[in-house]
Each structure stands twice: as C-alpha cells, then as structure tokens.
Structure 1
Amino acid sequence: MKPIIYKRGSTLDELDQIRTLQLQNSSENITSEEKLQEGFVTVQHTVALLEQMNLACAHIIAKDNDVVVGFALVMLSSFRNEIEVLIPLFERIDRLVPKDKTFIVMGQICVAKNYRKQGIFRGLYHFYREQLQHEFDYLITEVAAINLRSMQAHEAVGFKTIDNYKEDEIIWNIMLWDWT
C-alpha cells in the first residue's frame, strides 16, 4: 500500500473531489449520531469558489493514489465576503488579531470516513503549517461548540479557543494556532 501523499491542490479534478467529500460530510447529509461521533462540515463551497481560493493560495489535500481522502481549505482574508456565514468570523478576527500580525483562515477540514483515525487530520495540519508558517503568524478557524470531535482534534493539534459567539442558535468557537 502506498503512503498518503500531502500536497497543495493543483487540478480541477482535485477540487471536484473536495466538493464531493464536502457534500458527503455536510451536516445536512448525515445523521445526528454521525455528527456526534464523526464530526461534520457546515459550509458548502462551489467548485468555482474553491478554484478562486485555490488560485490565491492553494488548498492542502491528502491523496491516496488519485483519490482526495482529506482536505484543509486555505482562505485568505480577501475572501471574507464570499461566504456569508463566515462574515461574523472575519469581523471578530479584525478585533482579536493585533494589526502587526498576519493570519490565514483554515476554511474547513475533512477526512473521508474510511480514512479516519489514521493520522490524516494531524498530517493535513502539519503540512499546512510547513507550507505556510513563513508567510503567516497565525492559523485561525472556527468550530461549532457542539462538534466535540472537531474541538478535541483541533486542541490536540495546538489550537486554542480565543473567542466564541452565537449565530443562528449555534455557538461558534474561534480557534487560533500560533505559529510564531
């Protein structure tokens, strides 16, 4: 068996596979039990938006041969108004991050069901840091407080909750990984 390869997204096929993985793990498409045990993704991107984001700063993906089995989206602040549900996050980041610090937003992370508990989540984040720590001081994301699996996984990598807010009955934790 070939090892999992971590790389930056570079083809339209890879972006299509990210979109498919998103849909398979969307909170709308899985059971309540799966949400609790496995975690979930909230935002769904179009392939066109994934491509725009990828051209600005390529996404991080994990591949098993030709199959994308995990992804961590890279979102520059220039995309702050492209996804309405993320606007409150960026508004809070503006108040939380010192003006002399640079940051990037981890737009979403997901590992295919058959590949979980194999270190791919951690592998995606370590590759993310390796690729981008020389350009940015912080990596910031937000995780729904009810998504306990994701909260624990992010804390294990090195993220710390720096703020939270309530939007549409969901409590969101803003999490920061300090790369300085």
Structure 2
Amino acid sequence: MISFTQTSDTSELKQILALQQRNLPKQLTEEEKKTQGFVTVEHDIEILSKMHNLHPHIIAKDNNSVVGYALSMSTSFKNEIPVLIPMFNEIDKLDIHPNFIVMGQVCVDKAYRGKGIFRGLYDTMVTTFSGQFTSIITEIDANNTRSLKAHEAIGFSDLCTYETEQQLWKVVVMSI
C-alpha cells in the first residue's frame, strides 16, 4: 500500500537521490525521455538535507521504499542550485504574490507510474503547505511533454516561459 508523508531521515533522502539518478537524461534513451519524462537537476545529499531541514520533502512510500518524491524548496535556496537561478530570476520579474514554495523536482519510479502517485504527491504537498503558502511554483523543461501534461492535469497553469542556454523552460503555478 502506498503512503504519502514527509521525509524524516537520511535513508529516505538517499533513496530520493537513487531514484533521481535512474531518471536523469544521461540514464535514459531518447524514447524513454519522450514517453516517460525525466528529471533535470542532480542534487547531492548536502543540498537535499538543507532543503529537508527547512521544509521536509513530500514522498510516496511502498512499505519502507521511496517510490516517488516532490522536493520542497524554499525561495531561500534561490542561489544554491545553479541550474535553477534563471528560474528565480524570471519569477522575480513577475508581479506575483511572494508567498510561494517551489516544488524543486518531482519523480515517480517507473514501476509505480500511472497509479495516481503523482497526484498524491501534489495533494500531500498542498495539504502540508496550504497554511503557510498561497501557491506552488515549479519549472519544466519544455521538451518534457509527459511532465507538462501531468502538471496541467492536476491544475497547474503557465506563469511564464523563458530560454536559457538553448533550453526552453515553462514556469507553472498552482494556487493552494
């Protein structure tokens, strides 16, 4: 049975990193990237732990195994992960309410896709942070059509689009 919760220890953070590694573009075929999606940012245990210490991450577990995650990222980390700095710069240009949390990355293990885990992760994130924040913002590689469709299906809408280093990004938002 799948349960949704927040990270509580280093072993869960290490499981997140292992799942992340299996879904980076360098580990996937072109067909897998097109049909299954991919993650872009490669975190390390130090930054993942710092993020967790401020706002524990949302995870889906099957018994003791992490099978999905949605990373909780405070805007205080805007300069900690180089690939995300342009996203924060774009958000800063917009006239939006500043009380948001960033979903730093979402991923579901291949064997568990299509079972509502993606939606469950976001439902849990909304429940967890609805008293503290007014919205969730994330960015998606414009080539990651599976992720774009999944985010749209659960209620995210476009905030802006920008290009950096020949890569097109969509920044999306969901009110909570």
Overall identity of the aligned pairs, in %: 46
Counterparts of 1:71 and 1:119, CA distance in 2: 13
| TM-score, with length taken from structure 2 | 0.98
Give 1:61's aligned amino acid: I
User: Where does residue 20 of structure 1 map in the other structure?
Assistant: 18
Residue 45 of structure 1: SS of its match in structure 2? Answer: coil
Counterparts of 1:79 and 1:163, CA distance in 2: 20
5+ residue gaps, structure 1, are none
Q: Return the offset for 1:101.
A: 3.9
Number of aligned residues: 176
Is 1:173 paired with 2:140? no
Q: What does 1:39-118 align with in structure 2 at a 5 Å threshold?
A: 39-98=37-96, 100-118=97-115
Give 1:129's aligned amino acid: V
| TM-score, with length taken from structure 1 | 0.96
Q: Over aligned residue pairs, what C-alpha RMSD do you find?
A: 0.8
Counterparts of 2:36 and 2:108, CA distance in 1: 10
1:37-86 CA distance string (max 9 Å, x none): 00000001001110110001000000000100000000001111110010
5+ residue gaps, structure 2, are none
Aligned structure 1 segments of 4 or more residues deviating by more than 6 angstroms: none
Give 2:64's aligned amino acid: D
